Amino acid sequence: MKHAIHKVRSFDIVAAYTLCVSFEDGKAQTIDFQPVLAGELYRPLRDVDVLNRVRIDPEARTLVWPNGTDFDPATLHDWPEYEHEFQEMARRWDPVQA
């Protein structure tokens, strides 16, 4: 079975918690990360200053943050397919925030 490998080409911060991510195949996704920022790994990104320290890892070609947080570039590429699942996980990780 083939698994598409996607690489982040660039990104723009378009609003608080929202990035427009462009990929090597020309596709772009505008992603509001706020609903999924829960749990030990993603919670620190609730601080917009931390979230805005995003960069592209030169080897993995995905978005990464200083605390080690990242997302699989294929997940970002196909975000609408995964968004609900990430939101559900966030509610389980931090039920008080739901």
pTM reported for the whole predicted model? 0.88
What residues make up the domain containing 78? 8-97
| 77 located within any domain | yes
If you write DSSP's letter for every residue of 23-62 in order, what string do you get? ETTS-EEEEE-GGG--HHHHGGGGSHHHHTT-EE-TTT-S
Task: Give the tokens for residue 3.
Answer: 């698994």
Total number of domains constituting the chain = 1
Q: Which residue is associated with the tokens 């990430």? A: 86
- Check whether 1 has a pLDDT greater than 70: no
Yes or no: say if 88 and 97 are a contact pair by the CB < 8 Å rule. no
Of 74, 31, 81, 78, the closest CA to residue 54 belongs to: 31
Sheet with 18-23, edge to edge strand ranges:
8-15, 18-23, 28-32
- Check whether 98 has a pLDDT greater than 70: no
15-72 confidence digits (pLDDT tens): 999 999 999 999 999 999 999 999 988 999 999 999 999 999 999 999 999 999 999 9
Task: Give the tokens for residue 31.
Answer: 């992603």
27: CATH: 3.30.2020
Per-residue pLDDT, averaged over 73-89, amounts to 95
